[in-house]
Chain A
Amino acid sequence: MKRIIVADDSATARMFIKRCLQIIGLGDAEIIETEHGKDALAAAKEAPTDLLLTDLNMPVMDGETLVKWVKSSPKLCDTPIVVITSAGNPAKEAQLIELGAHRVINKPVSPPVLMEALEAFLDEE
C-alpha cells in the first residue's frame, strides 16, 4: 500500500486532492493529511513515504521550505514531491524543480492532470 502525504492548509483542497487520488486509482493508499509543511515533514520522518503532495502558500512552514528540508535530508531526499499551487508560473516552477520538486501543477487540480503528473510513480507498481 502506498503512503501519501498531502500538505495543504485548506481542508477543501485536501478533500479535493484525496478525491482525485481515489479517482485515479490510489483510493487504497494511506493518505496522511497535514495543514502545513512542518507537520508534513514530521509525518515524512515517521515512515517511508511514496509521494508528498504539497501546497506552496501555507502558514507555519510553506511548501518551498518543505521541499528544501526534504531534499536536504539524506533519509528523505528520495521522496517524490509534487507541488500543487494556485501561485504557479514557469519561473516559480523552474525554481521548485531546481530545488528538487518532481512536478508543479496548478490549482484547480483535476484527476487527469494529477494522473499525468503522477504517471511515473504509478507506473512503478
Chain B
Amino acid sequence: MIEHNPLYQAMKDAVSQTFENMAFTEVIEHFDQDYQIPEDQLAWTSLVVKDPVPGEIFMAVNKDALKELAGSMFLLDEDEITADKMSDILHELLNTVAGLFMTKLLAENQAFQIGLPVTGEGPLPEFDGDSVSWKLITGDEQPVQLFITGAPLVALND
C-alpha cells in the first residue's frame, strides 16, 4: 500500500482536480495496485521538471479511453479523432497535472519551471529506486498511471 505522504497526496489531488475540470470525471486510487496497462493499449507522455530540482513526470492511460475522451472533449466522431488530437489532450492533461503538482508540493512563493510534454514511444521506461508511482482510476473505470523519476524531485517528499 502506498503511503499517503505529501508527495503522494499532491499528485493525487493534482490529477483529481485536472480530470474533474477537463474530463468531467473523478479520479480515485486504483483498487488493484498491481495493475499494468497492457502494452498494446498504452499511451503515455512525459515532461521534464527543470527547476527548482531536475526530474521527469510521466503519465500513462489506456489508448481506447483516450480516444473516447478526445471524442467527448472535441465533440468528434470516432473516425475524426486523429493521433495528433489524442496526443494533444494527453499533453495538456499532463501539463496541467504537473503544474498543479509542483504548486501543491513547493512552498507558496517558490518558482518552478517545467518543459513541454513529449509523446512516449513504445513501453514505459524501467523505473529505478529513485521513482514513485501512482495507480489511479477514473469514475469510468479507466486507469491513469503517473510516475516521477529523479532523486531530487522524489526527495521533495522529505
Contacts and interface: CB of A to CB of B under 8 A. Distances in A.
Contact of B91 (A10, A85, A87, A106): A10
A113 to B, nearest CB: 10
A121 to B, nearest CB: 23
A108 B99 CA distance: 9
Which of A10, A88, A91, A92 counts the most chain B CB atoms within 10 A?
A: A10
Interface stretch (A11-19, A22-30, A71-79): A11-19
A87 B74 contact: no
B100 interface: yes
Contacts of B114: 57, 86-87
A108 B18 CA distance: 6
Interface string B74-94: 100000000001001101110
Nearest to A107: B96
B35 interface: no
Given A10-B88, A12-B89, A87 B21 contact: no
A37 B3 CA distance: 42
B74 A15 contact: yes
Nearest to A58: B116
A49 interface: no
B151 interface: no
Nearest to A109: B21
| Size bracket, chain B contacts | 20 to 34
Interface string B52-96: 000000000000000000000110000000000100110111011
B25 interface: no
Given A92-B111, A108-B22, A86 B116 contact: no
Nearest to A9: B116
Contact of B96 (A15, A86, A92): A86
Nearest to A19: B73
Contacts of B73: 12, 15
A13 B92 contact: yes
B116 A106 contact: no
Contacts of A92: 111
Contact of B95 (A57, A91, A110): A57
25 contacts: A9-B116, A12-B85, A12-B92, A16-B22, A16-B92, A57-B114, A57-B116, A85-B99, A86-B100, A87-B102, A87-B114, A88-B99, A89-B103, A89-B109, A89-B110, A89-B112, A91-B109, A91-B110, A92-B111, A106-B99, A108-B17, A108-B21, A108-B22, A108-B100, A110-B21
Interface of A: 9-13, 15-16, 57, 59, 85-92, 106-108, 110
